[in-house]
Structure 1
Amino acid sequence: MSVTLQSLLAPHDPDLVAIGAPDRDWLTYGKLRELSDQVARQLHDAGIGSDDRVAIVLPNGPEMAAAFVTIAQAAITAPLNPAYRLDEYAFYLEDLKAKALVVLADDQGPAVQAAQQCGVGILRLHVDPSDPAGVFSLSPDGDVGESPSSGPPGPDSTALILHTSGTTSRPKIVPLLQSNLVASARNIEASLALTSADRCLNVMPLFHIHGLIAAVSASLAAGASVWCAPGFDALKFFGWMKVAKPSWYTAVPTMHQAILSRAARNADVIAKSPLRFLRSSSASLPAQVMTALTDTFGAPVIEAYGMTEATHQMTSNPLAEGAQIPGSVGVAAGPLVRIAHEAENKIIAGTGEVVISGPNVTLGYESNPDANAANFFEADGLRWFRTGDQGAIDDAGYLRLTGRLKEIINRGGEKISPLEVDGILLDHPAVTQVVTFAVPHTKLGEEVAAAVVLVEGQVATDQEIRAFAAERLADFKVPRHVVILDEIPKGATGKMQRIGLAEKLGLGAR
């Protein structure tokens, strides 16, 4: 089995299409391999070797997908969010010890300014719109460094570096090996039974593990194709679907909900472009949304469970008809998945912290022995990673998550799962989105609160929503505060964030 990105692409028919985009010709696998060789030479000539770190700041689209795939075959990639500010770029470039930064040819923005301040070399990415999607060339700004003597990356070479998105502490550096990427791409390929006939419509940001691995790498592992939209836009989604004719797409729950809101007026597109399945990951998909998606698209919705340290996928609902269980993130889909004691380093039965072990799991955080000691442990002859999620595995092997351990609400000693409250509130006919979170309380420590978005045209008061919850939940689980919003604040990847939401909404201690 191939264990580097380069060998992952090697077997595919050169005439098969690989990468597409709006108003562009398709890039074939043969041309993608030629592009990979060209990029390797250009990096070598610019003094970049397989042990050097190359930050990438590009907009979503085919060039970002191709840049990741090709650069990772010759160096270490570090995609960064194009929306960062100057000080954020300076922090990440320094923290990564980046040798070079790849930007668009005419980019003079904060990433370039940060690279100049930090002494990081700049590589300009040039695109001819008449070329197939994803084709580009690189040229360095300024002097070319010495050509490195290092050879191509091996299975144990680092291929991708990402930061965790911590909310209260310094982000941790997660190095992922070539073998990690290949293992995860193969796991997803197998879970979804991908073949060269499949096509993914990618709307996920490509600085995030979800898009890089599930949409791009898994597709390329299967000899399939990926059509790269310029980001997510619910207003344009069905137009892209009509043009791309995908067999599947993958997204976070908030994106799925936005797509659902426009599905009724695009029933003809759905009928003419039938999907084989839909995939959801990176946050819990409410059971109500899974059911609505299945009914709307007439296709199974595959909820998966992933995180950066696992090179994305850990579990996935099976593809077989009727095997998807709403409210569950499925069965182990690559790594071993077990439940561990939340404080002691041992595997247990029942509810506890979800832990994983396998070839797609990072070997550890970089230069962070305290985090490694807290998050990795040895048991039953294996090395386990603590995910930070609480859950339980049923007799059929399906994993149900209770929530992030840090997000479990502790109300005077009573532990409340935000996901449970979310599920109840979403049953209210006027509620379309909800995120339950903790607010500080002077006596209880924490109290339950919820932010909701109403269905367009529907009306409900906070008191009515609380009364609805009170009929279905124990009293201590009922939100004491319900905030009705036009839109719930989201992070850079489209996920709703519970931690810090009370502060964002101005809800202080009561």
Structure 2
Amino acid sequence: MRYSDANLTLHHLVAVQAECQPSSIALRSVYEPPQSGLTYEALHSQITKVTHILTAHGIQPNDRIAVVLPNGTEMAVVFLAIASCATCAPLNPNYQRAEFDFYLDDLQAKALIILAGQPSPARSSAQARNIPILDLIPTSAGQFEIEGHAVCDGHPEFAKPDDVALILHTSGTTSRPKMVPLTHRNLWTSANNVATTLELTPSDRCLSLMPLFHIHGLVGVLLASIAAGGQVICTPGFQATRFFDWFETFQPTWYSAVPTIHQAILAQAEQQRDRLEHSALRLIRSSSAALPTQVKNLLETTFQVPVIEAYGMTEAAHQMTSNLLSPSDRKAGSVGKAIGLEVAIMDETGQLLQPSAIGEVVIRGANVTSGYEQNPDATAKAFTQGWFRTGDQGYFDSDGFLFLQGRLKEIINRGGEKIAPLEIDAVLMDIPEVFQAVTFAVPHPTLGEDVAAAVVLHPGANLSAVEIRKILFQKVADFKVPSQVVMVDAIPTGATGKLQRIGLFEKLVDQLKPVFVAPQTESEQKLAAIWAEVLGTDCNIGRHDNFFALGGDSLKATQIIVRITQIFEIEMPLVALFQSPTLMEQAERIDALCAESSTLMSLFNQLQDRPEAERLALIENLSL
């Protein structure tokens, strides 16, 4: 069907499917039998019913309604219904009271929809603000009643394409969260772009694993499926132990998730081989974070379907670029080509660069927000000549594929050398024993920032941080090798399962500080005194302390080498300090060099007493 400009709303999107295929299933719940579900006709009817209820409670277009509901069909219907006549503001049900206080105030919410009987600090937060509470009472999958005090009668006024359908907050990892208003036009455009990219049809069934308080789940899964007239299998959220049960029972044709979810699925896949034999899956989509090439390859080998990596963000109503289904339109390590909008590369001054140049990725198009709400300064900073600055660094190759190097605020500046964490992540992931890895910045008194990495090994794998650093020195330039590698059981993730790079130093600061163990050997004791002198510290230096973590840099490393030469009477290369940054490792190298020097001196003395011909023969043999 051809859509006119006036029809670009979510309500019309559902209405069209209800008219074209009324008996087709739109939403299914994993708690209901596989053959049951909410048809498009029933979905449209339920949405209309809810809009009348909301209108009776005084809700008008662009009023903000906060939603605190678990993942499932009810959450999907509530989002679509609110967006049809007002603005939906879904919130993470796991927030604490202080967080709900902030978000409800910031949104100036006109009502809160919450599950009846659901114990949540959101309820008390709304009560303290005299925000009306509408209790949702489920009756069957996607069907429910809403209880609350009605204030008026009347028919709903349905939203227009440029009314705000959804409002989300940015993550706020480094600053106050910003409100991102997204219109029906924004959402419709992005959903249609995803459906077109994946060649979705009414016969497709998507297993919904992403939370429906996040743009990925709302647009990349729910709205994209509805745009194609397909089906969404609603889960309570990703559960690794139940994934293959759902997979076998509901036979999805695709799913979309973040990389950590893909990895968790792969960790279970070896024991589930029999369930993959009769799979209906035709593609896997990955977005919202960089997908390691190793994970992509293993997914394709395991499921025998293409893995489509896409690039999205809240301000673009999710998708901006994507790989395509055709093998010639996919590249490993790339987030694909621009889909339905313009994408370019810009420098710090606002000048557009040649596609092959490295710079900030900028976008503009019908799916891009017009600006942050009630934050003109942030909006002015984010937009340059109509282009939205994504905050991501990247470049296009000669075929038009976009390659990302990470968030600009995540690029590590190590004494003037710029290091892209994603590059180091990729090298770490190439080590067979490594399951997950995140490279991150740590503060440094003279370098500004130093490089560290958190690593999770595969179950049963045995590899030390020292061994990992030795491998890295063979793969990347010395200045890119993390000074510290922290072995952890798990890397912290956000609410949507994305690995957290920003703020990782604060979370792992205790693990970055080794337990103090006093120097034990004579070499360690002498070296500790050298370190203390060069670093200018009165603190006790332990055998597991890291030279660079204590404030060492290239200049101080040179001073250390000079003192080692003077005190131990050996020639130690500067690179040895970078390759062996702990006191114990450096002392071991010193002892090895001293032993080698002693052996050579002994041999030299022995040679002095030999005839010249014999000395020359021995020297020649040694050189061979």
With normalisation by structure 2, the TM-score equals 0.79
Residue 4 (structure 1) aligned to one of 5, 9, 16: 9
Query: Which residue number in structure 2 is paired with residue 197 of structure 1?
Result: 203
Q: CA deviation at 1:48?
A: 1.1
Residue 452 (structure 1) aligned to one of 444, 455, 471: 455
Gaps of 5+ in 1: none
Q: CA deviation at 1:347?
A: 1.1
8 Å contact from structure 1 (residues 65, 206) kept in 2: yes
* Number of equivalent positions: 500
Q: CA deviation at 1:274?
A: 3.2
Residue 468 (structure 2) aligned to one of 465, 468, 478: 465
8 Å contact from structure 1 (residues 313, 334) kept in 2: no
Q: 1:337 to 1:148 in 2, by over 3 A?
A: farther
Q: CA deviation at 1:270?
A: 1.5
Counterpart of 2:360, as a letter, is E
Query: Which residue number in structure 1 is paired with residue 441 of structure 2?
Result: 438
Map 1:101-500 onto structure 2 (within 5 A): 101-128=112-139, 131=140, 133-140=141-148, 143-146=149-152, 151-341=157-347, 343-349=348-354, 350-378=357-385, 383-500=386-503
Which structure features the higher share of strand residues?
1
Query: Which residue number in structure 1 is paired with residue 598 of structure 2?
Result: none
Bigger-Rg structure (1/2): 2
Partner Cα distance (1:210, 1:175) in 2 = 15
* Post-superposition CA distance 1:381-422 (Å, at most 9, x none): xx1100000000112110000110000000000000000000
Partner Cα distance (1:469, 1:148) in 2 = 68
Counterpart of 2:264, as a letter, is A
Q: CA deviation at 1:253?
A: 0.2
Query: Which residue number in structure 1 is paired with residue 67 of structure 2?
Result: 56
Q: CA deviation at 1:149?
A: 8.2
Q: CA deviation at 1:427?
A: 0.8
Q: CA deviation at 1:259?
A: 0.3
8 Å contact from structure 2 (residues 85, 156) kept in 1: no
Partner Cα distance (1:162, 1:11) in 2 = 26
Residue 22 (structure 1) aligned to one of 24, 27, 30: 30
Q: CA deviation at 1:346?
A: 2.0
Partner Cα distance (1:394, 1:259) in 2 = 31
8 Å contact from structure 2 (residues 372, 379) kept in 1: yes
Q: CA deviation at 1:148?
A: 7.5
* Post-superposition CA distance 1:320-348 (Å, at most 9, x none): 1353211100000121110011x212211
* Post-superposition CA distance 1:113-158 (Å, at most 9, x none): 0001112111111102xx2x21112121xx4334578721100100
* Post-superposition CA distance 1:88-111 (Å, at most 9, x none): 001000000100000001124200
8 Å contact from structure 1 (residues 449, 482) kept in 2: yes
Query: Which residue number in structure 1 is paired with residue 508 of structure 2?
Result: 505
Partner Cα distance (2:153, 2:503) in 1 = 47
Counterpart of 2:418, as a letter, is K
Q: Which moved more, 1:245-254 or 1:269-278?
A: 269-278
Which structure features the higher share of helix residues?
2
Q: Secondary structure at the match of 1:423?
A: helix
Partner Cα distance (1:127, 1:220) in 2 = 22
Q: Secondary structure at the match of 1:19?
A: strand
8 Å contact from structure 2 (residues 52, 154) kept in 1: no
Counterpart of 1:244, as a letter, is F
8 Å contact from structure 1 (residues 48, 148) kept in 2: no
Query: Which residue number in structure 2 is paired with residue 78 of structure 1?
Result: 89
Partner Cα distance (1:257, 1:151) in 2 = 45
Q: Secondary structure at the match of 1:73?
A: helix
Gaps of 5+ in 2: 514-548, 551-624
8 Å contact from structure 2 (residues 52, 155) kept in 1: no
8 Å contact from structure 2 (residues 55, 156) kept in 1: no
Partner Cα distance (1:257, 1:305) in 2 = 18
Q: CA deviation at 1:273?
A: 1.6
8 Å contact from structure 1 (residues 274, 297) kept in 2: no
Partner Cα distance (1:102, 1:243) in 2 = 31
8 Å contact from structure 1 (residues 55, 101) kept in 2: yes
Partner Cα distance (1:274, 1:474) in 2 = 45
8 Å contact from structure 2 (residues 391, 407) kept in 1: yes
Of structures 1 and 2, the one with the larger relative CO (CA 8 A, separation 6+) is 1
Q: CA deviation at 1:300?
A: 0.3
Counterpart of 1:11, as a letter, is V
Q: CA deviation at 1:10?
A: 2.0
